[in-house]
């Protein structure tokens, strides 16, 4: 193993995953540097969510290697063990405890926090309180600490869930289509949040909204039929013949352009 190889936070090598003979992920090789914010785009069915399922241990690969940090083989671990290593995943639909306050939601997610019943009767110590307020301020919800999570807007629920993930201090954050269903303003704020987290955490974002991709992306990976079609800056990817063909070839889908007026 070479020296350069050591700085990857995530490495997938020749990974294949079939469902009933259909290769959802096909000989996929993908590397991500520590601290990087990477965006993965691709048409529906390209295998983006399956890729996250494979990283998080929700699905097992048929073939290939998936390594985290310094040579940790993720394919041998279960979902819970992978989460404990510091890989947090944010699904598309927010899942927060709607009957609990924003503050309590973060509290319940803190590293080492106990179960929901214990928390109801336990007291928050001052170190925890500071940490919870820091997290709320990071995700822009400090004013909402006492609000029931159920009455937050869709965007605020998404930020709360990102805060809940951050409470576990993940090394790698996997975020599936965070801008879906958000207003333009919420989308922009989400972009700023993710940019502010990059460096401290490594972040892999799956996204469709090209305005948002342009806002946050340094390096974009285009996934198509379960493999990498192209990698580069947003401009490089948008100008790539193969990428244009894939999106145009789909007929109804437009090529990934920035939705500028």
Count of residues engaged in binding ligand ADP, rule: CB under 6 A: 10
Q: Which residues contact 186 (CB under 8 A, 6 or more apart)?
A: 153, 154, 155, 158, 179
And the tokens for 180?
Answer: 């879906």
- Using left for φ > 0, alpha for ψ between -120 and 50, and beta otherwise, residue 92 falls in alpha
Q: In whole angstroms, how close is the CB of 158 to ligand ADP at the nearest point? A: 18
Residue whose CB is less far from ligand ADP, 42 or 57: 42
**According to the binding rule CB under 6 A, does residue 46 interact with ligand ADP?**
yes
- Identified binder of ligand ADP from the candidate list 16, 49, 83, 168, rule CB under 6 A: 49
Q: In whole angstroms, how close is the CB of 49 to Mg ion at the nearest point? A: 3
Residue whose CB is less far from ligand ADP, 156 or 221: 221
Q: In whole angstroms, how close is the CB of 82 to ligand ADP at the nearest point? A: 18
Which residues of this chain interact with Mg ion, rule CB under 5 A? 48-49
Strands (E), the chain: 8-19, 22-33, 37-41, 63-68, 72-73, 87-90, 172-176, 202-206, 219-224, 227-232
10 SS3 class: strand
Residue whose CB is less far from ligand ADP, 63 or 84: 63
Q: Where are the alpha helices (DSSP H) in 6-69?
A: 48-56
- Identified binder of ligand ADP from the candidate list 7, 14, 19, 248, rule CB under 6 A: 19
- Identified binder of ligand ADP from the candidate list 2, 3, 44, 126, rule CB under 6 A: 44
Residue whose CB is less far from ligand ADP, 50 or 156: 50
**According to the binding rule CB under 6 A, does residue 3 interact with ligand ADP?**
no
Q: In whole angstroms, how close is the CB of 48 to Mg ion at the nearest point? A: 5
75 SS3 class: helix
**According to the binding rule CB under 6 A, does residue 24 interact with ligand ADP?**
yes
**According to the binding rule CB under 6 A, does residue 57 interact with ligand ADP?**
no
**According to the binding rule CB under 6 A, does residue 47 interact with ligand ADP?**
yes
Nearest to 22 by CA among 62, 82, 76, 74: 62
**According to the binding rule CB under 6 A, does residue 61 interact with ligand ADP?**
no
26 SS3 class: strand
**According to the binding rule CB under 6 A, does residue 174 interact with ligand ADP?**
no
Work out the number of other CB atoms within 10 angstroms of the CB of residue 60: 12
Is 123 in contact with 207 (CB distance < 8 Å)? no
Q: What is the distance between the alpha carbons of residues 134 and 125, in angstroms, rounded to a whole number?
A: 14
**List of residues contacting ligand ADP (CB under 6 A):** 19, 24, 42, 44-50
């Amino acid at each position: 193993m070479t020296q350069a190889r050591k700085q990857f936070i995530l490495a997938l090598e020749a990974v294949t995953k079939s469902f009933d003979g259909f290769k959802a992920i096909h000989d996929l090789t993908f590397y991500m540097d520590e601290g990087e914010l990477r965006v993965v785009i691709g048409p529906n069915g390209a295998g983006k969510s399956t890729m996250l399922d494979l990283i998080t241990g929700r699905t097992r690969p048929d073939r290939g290697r998936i390594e985290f940090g310094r040579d940790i083989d993720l394919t041998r671990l279960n979902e819970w063990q992978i989460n404990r290593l510091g890989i947090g995943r944010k699904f598309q639909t927010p899942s927060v405890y709607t009957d609990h306050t924003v503050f309590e939601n973060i509290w319940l997610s803190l590293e080492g926090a106990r179960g929901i019943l214990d928390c109801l009767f336990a007291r928050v110590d001052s170190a925890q309180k500071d940490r919870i307020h820091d997290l709320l301020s990071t995700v822009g919800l400090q004013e909402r600490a006492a609000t029931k999570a159920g009455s937050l807007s869709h965007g605020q629920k998404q930020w709360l869930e990102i805060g809940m993930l951050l409470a576990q201090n993940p090394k790698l954050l996997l975020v599936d289509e965070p801008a879906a269903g958000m207003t333009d303003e919420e989308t922009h704020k989400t972009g700023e949040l993710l940019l502010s987290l990059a460096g401290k955490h490594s972040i892999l974002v799956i996204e469709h909204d090209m305005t948002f991709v342009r806002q946050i992306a340094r390096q974009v990976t285009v996934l198509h039929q379960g493999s990498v079609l192209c990698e580069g800056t947003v401009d490089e990817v948008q100008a790539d013949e193969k990428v244009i063909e894939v999106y145009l070839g789909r007929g109804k889908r437009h090529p990934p352009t920035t939705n500028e007026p």
